Amino acid sequence: MAKTIGQLTEPQQKILAYITNYVEKNSVPPTIREIQSGTGISSTSMVSYHLKALERAQMLNRYERRSRGLVVTEPMRMHTLDIAAVPIVGVIVASAPAPTPDADALASAENSVQIARSLVGNVEGLYALEVKGNSMIDALINDGDIVIMRRDQEVRNGDLAAVFLTDRNESTLKRVFREGKRLRLKPENPTMKPFYVEARNAEIQGRVVCVIRRT
Question: Is the pLDDT at 209 greater than 50, yes or no?
Answer: yes
The neighbouring-strand residues paired with 72 are: 60
What structural domains does the chain harbor?
Answer: 5-78 (1.10.10.10), 82-212 (2.10.109.10)
Q: Do the beta carbons of residue 67 and residue 52 sit within 8 Å?
A: no
| Average pLDDT score over residue span 28-33 | 85
**Tens-place pLDDT, residues 111-155:** 777 776 666 777 777 888 888 888 888 888 888 888 888 887 778
At 109 the pLDDT is 52
Say how many CA atoms lie within 13 Å of 86 toward its Cβ: 30
What's CA 155's distance to the chain center, in Å? Answer: 19
Q: Do the beta carbons of residue 95 and residue 89 sit within 8 Å?
A: no
At 97 the pLDDT is 40
**Tens-place pLDDT, residues 154-174:** 788 988 999 888 888 888 899
Residue 38 identity? G
**Tens-place pLDDT, residues 60-70:** 777 655 556 56
Identify the residue with better confidence: 77 or 48: 48
Q: Is the dihedral of CA 113, 118, 123, 129 positive or negative?
A: negative
| Average pLDDT score over residue span 190-208 | 89
Question: Is the pLDDT at 183 greater than 90, yes or no?
Answer: yes
| Average pLDDT score over residue span 60-88 | 61
Q: Is the dihedral of CA 118, 122, 124, 129 positive or negative?
A: negative
Q: Quote the pTM value.
A: 0.59
Report, as residue numbers or ranges, the catalytic residues: 135, 174
Question: Is the pLDDT at 203 greater than 50, yes or no?
Answer: yes
Length of the chain: 215
Question: Is the pLDDT at 177 greater than 90, yes or no?
Answer: yes
Where residue 75 falls among pLDDT bands split at 50, 70, 90? very low
